[in-house]
Amino acid sequence: MNDCETRMDAAAYVLGALEDPESYREHLATCAACREEVAELERVVDLLPATVPRAAASGELRARIMASVRSEAELLRAAGERADQPPTRTRGIFARPLWLPAGATALAAGLAAALILALGGGSSSPVRVRAAVLSPSEGGAHAVLIERGRRGELVVRGMRQAPAGDVFQVWLKRGASAQPQPTDALFGVTHGGDASVAVPGDLRGVTEILVTHEPVGGSRHPTSAPLLHVVA
């Protein structure tokens, strides 16, 4: 099957999060690869009502969820207009940032969580989706990791473009105390901040996937704080 550079838009299309669904529908009429991708993901979404038993949420759970939503809303309101300004970068430092899920990230996390709950009971499930946590500098962006077996693809939406002379680089950690290892997955985003990139290699043993800004050509060691991370 021929690959298509817009194939990764299928996930956002099926979840109803694609910015221009009408254009993608027109594309589907001429692209067998994307039609197959959409069909596979739609089967996953269709499983949700059949595989997740209906249950009434407890009062405690509802209170926790609403407290989290209100807390995020207050943080975003307090951040004000400068919430999306880029942070000051310090080369050679890989300090772990204080992660703040943006509103769009929280939405993506909810959709991803629903898919994970639906598929978690069956080890043979073909697709699994994990939400990424983004730096406060990426307010309004969201990202997910789509896993198929031991392979993964990272899909980002609405990220700020890398500074001139930099690219995004994917890093893998194996173990909580391990240092992030570089990969050859270097990418940029469109003017709209969108991109998809295959995570190199086998995900077995990977505990975390991170993305940083690095000089063109990539780095052997991180030179900036992570912009996003996914717990694998």
Whether the predicted model's global pTM rises above the 0.75 cut: no
- Structural domains of the chain ordered from first start: 9-51 (no CATH), 85-231 (2.60.40)
Per-residue tokens: 52:
């997740």
**Model confidence over 133-143: pLDDT tens digits?**
998 888 888 88
pLDDT at 93: 38
Ranges of the chain with pLDDT below 50: 1, 51-52, 83-125
pLDDT at 78: 62
CA 187 to each of CA 8, 54, 190: distance values in angstroms, whole numbers, following the listed order: 14, 41, 10
Which residue, among 231, 95, 63, 86, has the nearest Cα to 159 in the 3D structure?
Answer: 86
pLDDT at 80: 57
Per-residue tokens: 16:
């109803």
pLDDT at 126: 58
CA 98/CA 206 separation, integer angstroms: 22
**Model confidence over 85-105: pLDDT tens digits?**
444 444 443 443 334 333 444
Mean pLDDT of the chain: 74
